Amino acid sequence: MKKMKLMTKVYTKKTETFSLLKRNIENDVKDLDVKISSIVFGDDGFVSLTLEGEDELAAYNYLGSLYGKNTDLGELKDGDTIKGYICSSGKVGFGVFVDIGIKEPYSVDALLPLFSLREQLVDGKAIPVRKIIKMFGLIDNFPIEITMQKVSIGLKKIEAQLSQKQVETFKEWKEEGLDKLLIFGAYKEEIVSALTKTNHSKDIISIDNLGWMENVITCKFNTNAKGLIPSIGKILYKARFEIFSPSFIRKTLKEIK
């Protein structure tokens, strides 16, 4: 028997959410000799599993690669790259915190310091953290990959930076030059349905998963992501929306010397 906490969040504890996630995970490991004997939605929003069977270790590693898995503070070391979710976005001026699932025996989030965000995202320019959050859509529940820089077990502090892969993703989005609409708290199928009902399917190129209930819509050239929100927001009223606009990023970087 092997237990694990997935770094994937759920936004509702409805029966259909439970059933859908369980079915998805079972499908992921259908070729392995393993059974999911329990699945629990924690108060922190993360999902915990118990795996049983001859291939439980293989399933543990594979699911961890798909969804990410939490690591105990004592097991973390400098250089580790893991997945997490942005939390407490914009509440402090010295950086952004990332929830990496460490809750026991005490809760510890990883800090992305302002100097690191400036260096990795805005060419080292002296841009306030709240402006960087706005530029890149770094709101709460954004699934993000980070690399540990300073893990202090004694001080219960973790300092990290965006992983190289995450930086490259933002770079590609920026260079692509197309507006993107981030939607957190809705399934891809729900988004597709909302776009169809509002006749906005013609305005987008793709819908891509960032996490299980976090998606990004890439808009067609000359389609403003903000313009989609009033229509589909009425249908996806429980979801949270944020915009990634390359033109806004370019404008902001140009304005600040």
So where are the chain's domains?
Answer: 2-67, 73-163, 177-255
| pLDDT reported for residue 215 | 96
Structure tokens at 44: 């922190």
Is residue 146 very low, low, confident or very high in pLDDT (cuts 50, 70, 90)?
very high
Measured CA to CA, the distance from residue 250 to residue 125 in angstroms comes to 13
Please tell me the class of the 177-255 domain. Answer: alpha beta
- The position carrying tokens 């349905």 is 193
CB crowding 52-82: b at 16 or more within 10 Å, else e? ebebbebbbebbbeebbbbbebeebeeeeeb
pLDDT surpassing 80 at residue 14: no
pTM for the model stands at 0.89
Segment 242-247 shows an average pLDDT of 96
Q: Residues 73-163: name the CATH superfamily.
A: Nucleic acid-binding proteins (2.40.50.140)
More confident position, 200 or 152? 200
Average of per-residue pLDDT values in the chain: 91
> pLDDT digits over 48-89, tens only?
889 999 999 999 999 988 888 888 888 888 999 999 999 988
Measured CA to CA, the distance from residue 15 to residue 181 in angstroms comes to 28
Measured CA to CA, the distance from residue 66 to residue 64 in angstroms comes to 5
Measured CA to CA, the distance from residue 85 to residue 9 in angstroms comes to 9
Strand-strand pairing, 180-184 and 240-244? antiparallel
